């Protein structure tokens, strides 16, 4: 059933698990995710970026997610990283149960002003709003403590932001990065900062850039020619700590992309004579389903239905 994101996340934060928020841009991804959720008895958030909407069209994507939500699994439909208000409006009109307004590149005043406006707009559709404060960036990119503080989420500012905007969940910057290349050496997540944020901010916290760049999927992709040698992702142990300290929604895109492309590379290599796209997509579908199931187990959302 299609469910409001707010409801899913409040339950998750209270019970200390996180709902996987998985990015999709085609039928295969949606089917793999809902297949995994059914198998794991896990709620799930299926989300689309502005780029995904541009690629596939919002009518197709929202229809696919609606079909996935027609069964017993609680599914929320979310706009990821909405930066352009036209996309936010489009998502709300197409029945998304939540939207993210990403004003992280704006100055604080402007971020608050537009987030407030989005919250007001979303309320008329019964949808909830995820907002972001701080710039999602890797800790190693900062040369000084002052610089790190200026980029990562400041706990007091986060509280003031939530109070001023009325947003329903908050994406924080604690050292994760989007994409496959997250860490140069050791993994660094600023868990102390997260603890301080969670003490003040009582709404569900969202972790972006959380892909683990799974070793076996990476190895498979590399075996078939992808160049990912130095790619390093977030460790499972850090994910578990983050969940313990208030993270209730975890965004994963890269790990699914790796699984999809590794599966395709494998099929193209193994089945050079096959021209049926359904057969060529089969390993990719299975691998994405496997990755989604692993996330559900790791995040503790498995078995919650």
Residues that bind Zn ion (CB under 5 A): 208, 251
| Residue 149: active-site member | no
How many angstroms separate the CA atoms of 108 and 103, rounded? 8
Please say which residue, 267 or 288, places its beta carbon nearer to ligand G3H: 288
SS3 94: coil
> What is the rounded CA–CA span in Å between residue 195 and residue 205?
11
CB of 136 to Zn ion, least distance (A): 7
Helical pair 254-270 and 27-40, crossing angle rounded to 10 deg: 110
Q: Nearest distance from residue 51's CB to ligand G3H, in Å?
A: 3
Instruction: Please provide the DSSP assignment of 113-138 as one string.
Output: HHHHHHHHHHHTTT-EEEEEES----
Task: State the Cα–Cα distance between residues 134 and 131, nearest whole angstrom.
Answer: 10
Q: Which residues contact 49 (CB under 8 A, 6 or more apart)?
A: 23, 25, 79, 80, 81, 253
DSSP secondary structure code for residue 59 in this structure: H
Active-site option among 80, 168, 238, 253: 80
Determine if 178 is a binding residue for ligand G3H (CB under 6 A).
yes
- Binding flag, residue 253, ligand 13P (CB under 6 A): yes
CB 305 within 8 Å of CB 33:
no
Interaction of residue 25 with ligand 13P, rule CB under 6 A: no
The two three-digit tokens of residue 293, written as one number: 């199931």
Tell me which stretch binds ligand 13P (CB under 6 A): 26-34, 57-65, 209-217, 224-232: 209-217
Stretch that binds ligand 13P, among 53-61, 184-192, 250-258, 274-282 (CB under 6 A): 250-258
Among 208, 232, 245, 265, interactor with ligand 13P by CB under 6 A: 208
The site that binds ligand 13P (CB under 6 A) totals a number of residues, namely 14
- Work out whether 47 is an interface residue with ligand G3H (CB under 6 A): no
Q: Taking Cα atoms as reference points, which of 129, 121, 208, 184 lies closest to residue 162?
A: 129
Is the CB of 7 or the CB of 178 nearer to ligand G3H?
A: 178
Q: Count CB-CB contacts under 10 A for residue 163.
A: 11
* C-beta closer to ligand 13P: residue 101 or 305: 101
Candidates 1-9, 45-53, 181-189, 261-269; binding stretch for ligand G3H (CB under 6 A): 45-53
Give the residue with the Cβ less far from ligand G3H, 80 or 266: 80
- How far from 304 is each of 37, 202, 236, CA to CA, in Å? 10, 22, 20
List active site positions. Answer: 80
Contact positions toward ligand 13P, by CB under 6 A? 23, 80-81, 178-179, 208-211, 251-255
Contact positions toward ligand G3H, by CB under 6 A? 23, 49, 51-52, 80-81, 178, 253
């Amino acid at each position: 059933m299609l469910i409001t994101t707010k409801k899913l996340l409040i339950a998750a934060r209270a019970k200390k698990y996180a709902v996987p928020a998985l990015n999709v841009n085609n039928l295969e991804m949606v089917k793999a995710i809902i297949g995994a959720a059914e198998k794991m008895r896990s709620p799930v958030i299926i989300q689309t970026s502005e780029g995904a909407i541009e690629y596939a069209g919002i009518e197709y994507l929202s229809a696919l997610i609606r079909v996935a939500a027609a069964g017993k699994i609680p599914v929320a439909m979310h706009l990821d990283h909405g930066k352009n208000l036209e996309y936010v409006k489009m998502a709300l009109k197409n029945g998304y149960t939540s939207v993210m307004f990403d004003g992280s590149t704006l100055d604080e005043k402007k971020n608050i002003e537009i987030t407030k406006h989005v919250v007001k707009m979303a309320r008329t559709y019964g949808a909830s709003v995820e907002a972001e404060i701080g710039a999602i960036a890797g800790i190693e990119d900062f040369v000084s403590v002052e610089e790190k503080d200026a980029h990562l989420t400041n706990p007091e500012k986060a509280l003031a932001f939530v109070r001023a905007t009325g947003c329903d969940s908050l994406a924080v910057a604690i050292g994760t990065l989007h994409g496959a290349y997250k860490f140069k050496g050791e993994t660094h997540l600023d868990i102390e900062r997260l603890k301080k944020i969670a003490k003040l901010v009582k709404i569900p916290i969202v972790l972006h850039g959380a892909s683990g760049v799974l070793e076996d999927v990476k190895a498979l992709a590399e075996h078939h020619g992808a160049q990912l040698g130095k790619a390093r992702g977030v460790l499972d142990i850090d994910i578990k700590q983050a969940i313990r300290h208030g993270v209730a929604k975890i965004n994963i895109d890269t790990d699914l992309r790796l699984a999809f492309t590794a599966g395709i590379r494998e099929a193209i290599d193994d089945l050079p004579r096959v021209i049926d796209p359904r057969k060529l997509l089969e390993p990719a579908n299975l691998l994405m389903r496997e990755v989604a199931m692993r996330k559900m187990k790791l995040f503790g959302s498995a078995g919650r239905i």
